[in-house]
Structure 1
Amino acid sequence: MTADAALISLTDITRVYGSGEAEVRALDGVSFDIHSGEFVSIMGPSGSGKSTAMNVIGCLDSPTSGQYLFNGVEVDELNNDQRALLRRHYLGFIFQGYNLLHRATALQNVELPLIYKGMGREERESRALAALDKVGLASRAHHDPSALSGGQQQRVAIARALAGDPQVILADEPTGNLDTKRSVEIMELMVELNRSDGITIVMVTHEDEMAEFGSRLIWMVDGKVESDRALEKAV
């Protein structure tokens, strides 16, 4: 891969559900590149295809046609095990609903993906604690999610994504369940992770104010990219 090659490259991607009169083209010829270190916000009305595009990038769904390259590798040519390895070693996920195990502590939640990596207990705990410290929650490591605020639970989810040392974080409506103050705190944290750690972030959101924290905005309508522009940042 050359120095200026895209980390993520979608070319003429379609995703079709159903057939005949019931056919739905969730993605209809979507093409865009994302380079290492970018913070890309993807927006669009309900049914625009933004979440489907995120699922394709995250190897949670497969396109009907088109080409998806990750780090120069054709994802469609990978088998299920190889796609699982790509998710496990290169991608981190943050969801609107946090997706934390309520009977496990914050530390145990962050450790969970490291178990699937086959990491030993001592290294796993060290990595998880470091990730919680990075999001300002080391002191809450042994608290259950029920003892944490919504913003703190989302920070645990971010720590879980960070613990695996991903190249890319995929965030699907990460502030959707938070009030404005907590939303801004989460977005400021993500900007810091992007700038200081160089983590590539791709975020789906329906909130204009949150999208503006990114460096680029892709707007989708009816399964197509309608616009793709850089976002001006305040100095």
Structure 2
Amino acid sequence: MYTLKKSLGQHFLRDENMCRKIVTSMPVLPGMQLLEVGPGGGAITKYLLDIPGIDFKAVEFDKEKVDFLEATYPGIRGKIIHADFLKIDPPFEGKFKVIGNFPYNISTEILFRVVDWRDKVPEVIGMFQKEVARRVASVYNTKEYGVISVLIQAFYKVEYLFDVHEHCFNPPPKVKSGVIRLTRLEQPYNMASERKFFTLVKTAFNQRRKQLRNPLKPLFSKEILQEEIFTKRAEALTVADFAALTHKML
């Protein structure tokens, strides 16, 4: 058996219909490489192991879960990496997809690691705390739209797929969950540099209630700051707007 470790953000699915729904949300291509992040007790792992014609691996930080998985699902032996996902190198040569019931305490870090690996990762299916999932998928001119929305959508199309009720878990968490799909953009946004883009977005949303002219003073000349776009708030700008502004930064 295994134990739930809240310190690791663990939350285990027990609804088999929901497990299958998450797995079938990932389009399967013959010969594709697939990485599961945080298999835990194997709720979706057992279904992933049954997919024919793919190269599957899983990465799990908790040694207790690694031992449980290898004892319960012999097919995973040799396919599981006992390590911290945030510290490993890409586990495959070439492109691979990512799926997981992600540990909620590092879910945003997982997304940014995917962005770092975007040349290798064309698609992600992930379950998150619902609040986080909605923020990642939110569009401009909404309250949920913020730093993580812009930084992820600059590189991936994000689709909010469905809610996961708390009673699908054992024990039920105090928060709701949601599943999203990330599909890498074929045509990336034209930005001066990724460094400038990240700096601009984070600075703009640091004072999201104020006109952009105020928080962005250090990043633009006085002349550029007179343009009409700087009378808006950060949430009113699209990802394309932010990308375009990087070309005018100091």
TM-score, length of structure 2 as denominator length: 0.30
The structure number with the bigger radius of gyration is: 2
Structure ranking higher in strand proportion:
1
TM-score, length of structure 1 as denominator length: 0.31
